[in-house]
Structure 1
């Protein structure tokens, strides 16, 4: 039992760290841009204005930046230093992880568009209402703005950006990120394997409340939260619970709570959390029935939250669990996550080196020096750092938008990947290999979702016919998974044949449309 808990914690911690690594790197970069390029004074102007204006700006800026609830931590640390109002910072911290171009496209395509747009509107209600109430209860919660750190033109600007990112990656923000990952690790240690499948059905009145309890320690990237929401819509689970999942699962984590406790104390943090839970759960119940999908037969389960419990079923020795954990992490962590982990490790090492080698602050003093004047031509213009900072953030937003086309390939490329997943999944279904089948069926289903989003991105629509063909494949795959898990070999073979037929129909629906968009 103890070994199961240890490896449950380790696997879920490592999986979440890998998923979060790209967003954490982005968060360190954005924080450094605010600190060194935009500066604290202009940051205060950016988030300034009346109370309502500040909260709305925080919501808009947060949704444009591609960060998660862990990646937002170094950014809010800088906003706090800049002297931004507490309600505005917390509104930004809540809204930034909820949506980005990748996740918004995913949600609009795979869930009901009206539901996703309603959820986006509800997120604005949350940050506005909770932020206003908190600021009214605790006025003057902001710090006195610290003066800008002077950074002059030339190589010093780039050095300042790198040094700030590296130091923050080895400072307080890193500790808070690790606290945030600890929450999901503890869930993996203590929640039994596959025990959450029946807690969020549409006919359970307590489903949103249960999700609120689960959502706070959970860590979910915006993409993962959207994927889980899509599965809940597919199975007609509780829509109220799906909304709470998005607001708290993607928007909160234990690291953010730890930061709040450090900055605002127990009383103010408790008030914030109480108001937040009241508003989020209340909105969850409000949208539950109006947004319930009418064209789906409700299922009495969902696999969307299996990733938060213990990763392995049954009992095994310490050595067996170690082997299984290594295999699972090697299989589950995708290449771009490995690259992000390597970059994050390099940034941390660089931060350690800077802190050890520059204890006297000589590097910072050099960065602050005014460079020697040089002869320049008429076209040699010194661009203000705030302009560079604005362009850097704008470029990040544009890059995340362009990245959608790479993350969601065209249909032809998707079917090449689906072909691999299909072969592995159906082969495992025929042989009864449960672990192999579960993994490749999930991969197969995920590629069918990316297929729909890629078509929507390029054609502006996914026809009802295409949508139903993709959904039918996922439903057949779900039944195949259950048959394999239950050891029903004859039934599994029958579902393998059905998956093969529905796959061919899905392929025809999407590829023929790609060849003839008007057809």
Structure 2
């Protein structure tokens, strides 16, 4: 039993870390831009100084930057160093992990747009309300401005300073808080039994919101995972309020962020902040639970959306070490593999830099070096301008990344065709582990298909939505049959999944009928 708990916690720690690495690296890059290019004064100007204006700016900037609740930690540390008000920092730290262009697009397509808009507005209420109260009761003390002593001459020195700062962050305090956040995920998985959250967010359960709030605080979810869970909860008729609590606290906060707040602001202020935050989140969750509940959705009575927070192995798992390695290697996405390799290289350089220059003499030399004599055609661009351009470029890149993350439908169908073969093979031949691995990926591609269509045409035809819904219903039934290892039922449902996939493909490649009812009889 101890071995199952230990290796299950290791798996959840590694899974969360792998998922977070891309946004952690983006967070370090954003922090480097604030430090080297904008500087403290430029950062304060970007966020509008102080007051309600800065709180709204923090919410808006947080909505645009693609970071998670772990990746936001180095950015929050840099904002505090730039002497922004505590309310502004915490408003940004809560908003940035919740939404980004990719996750919002996913949510608008697969969930009710009114829900996403309402949740976005509620997040604005949370961060502005909590931020205003924080600044009112805990005003930021004035300290000496560090701007003059931190200026670095333009050119290659500034670029080298940016890289150096990023490497320092990889082995610095920010990464320590990230590890604390990941340990919270591991501890939560050790506490929650296997599959224990499958019936924990039912709409008719008045305690679902409170229970999900307690689970969400130590949990970690990337913005994309949070949106997937949100869509799944709506599809299964779960509590809307519980979904909001999970989004606001599960994606917006983690144990590492709480640890940083405690170290920076003290126990009493941190406790007051989170008490206020939880109170507002729970209040808003109960207020939207009824009005936003989807009509016409029959509660499924269960969901697998939260299995990632529980123990990954059941009591019957024979070899948890092998199972841990298998799960970790099979479910890592291609872009995550690239991110892990890049992070590994950066970690090696960061360790070398820390060992070779523990006194940070390199940074002192970069600041002290005289600026190079201007050449005839040189034009000096101020650091804040370059920093602003970099941030805008990062936002544009994240928007452009939507087109890469959601490829054209014909490319998605090529992926789905191969996955369809794997799923049917696993279900028909009783290779349950094969089917269990590919079914969630199959479901994810079907959802990406709708987002891709929306991204390129501005809408998803009801006919396409209908075919996708039928496909996912059969896929979910097959998943349950595979979990029960019911070979006869799995064979039957695998045929229906294959047929519904064929009809889904044809619906995108052939002219759309006037009404989905025209072909409804074709779906058994």
Q: Distance in 2 between matches of 1:435 and 1:314?
A: 16
- Aligned residue in 2 for 1:213: 214
- Residue aligned with 2:510, SS: helix
Cα distance, 1:304 vs structure 2: 0.2
Q: 1:453 aligns with which of 446, 451, 458?
A: 451
C-alpha deviations, 1:142-181, integer Å up to 9, x for none? Answer: 7654335111011101100001111111110000000011
- Aligned residue in 1 for 2:520: none
Gaps (5+ residues) in structure 1?
515-519
2:427 equivalent to 1:426: no
Over the residues paired in the alignment, what is the CA RMSD in angstroms? Answer: 1.7
2:55 equivalent to 1:55: yes
Cα distance, 1:190 vs structure 2: 2.3
CA spacing shift, 1:465–1:351, aligned 2, 3 Å: same
Greater alpha carbon shift after TM alignment, 145-154 vs 88-97: 145-154
- Aligned residue in 1 for 2:516: none
CA spacing shift, 1:294–1:105, aligned 2, 3 Å: same
CA spacing shift, 1:376–1:147, aligned 2, 3 Å: closer
Give yes or no for contact 1:445–1:477 (8 Å, CA) kept in 2.
yes
- Aligned residue in 2 for 1:392: 390
1:169-188 maps to which residues of 2 (within 5 A)? Answer: 169-188=170-189
- Aligned residue in 2 for 1:477: 475
Cα distance, 1:126 vs structure 2: 0.5
Moved beyond 4 Å, runs of 4+: 141-145
Give yes or no for contact 1:68–1:250 (8 Å, CA) kept in 2.
yes
CA spacing shift, 1:384–1:49, aligned 2, 3 Å: closer
1:305-320 maps to which residues of 2 (within 5 A)? Answer: 305-317=306-318, 320=319
Q: Distance in 2 between matches of 1:497 and 1:127?
A: 49
- Aligned residue in 1 for 2:341: 342
Cα distance, 1:221 vs structure 2: 0.3
- Residue aligned with 2:147, SS: coil
Q: Distance in 1 between matches of 2:72 and 2:139?
A: 24
- Aligned residue in 2 for 1:25: 25
CA spacing shift, 1:190–1:461, aligned 2, 3 Å: same
Gaps (5+ residues) in structure 2?
513-524
Cα distance, 1:407 vs structure 2: 0.4
- Aligned residue in 2 for 1:517: none
C-alpha deviations, 1:258-300, integer Å up to 9, x for none? Answer: 0010011111000000000000111111111111111321110
Q: Distance in 1 between matches of 2:313 and 2:509?
A: 38
Give yes or no for contact 2:154–2:371 (8 Å, CA) kept in 1.
no
Give me the TM-score of the superposition, normalised by structure 1: 0.96
- Aligned residue in 1 for 2:78: 78
Q: Distance in 2 between matches of 1:481 and 1:159?
A: 51
- Aligned residue in 1 for 2:522: none
2:46 equivalent to 1:46: yes
2:411 equivalent to 1:413: yes
- Aligned residue in 1 for 2:330: 331
Give yes or no for contact 1:473–1:506 (8 Å, CA) kept in 2.
yes
- Residue aligned with 1:249, SS: helix
Give yes or no for contact 1:107–1:230 (8 Å, CA) kept in 2.
yes
Q: Distance in 1 between matches of 2:506 and 2:392?
A: 40
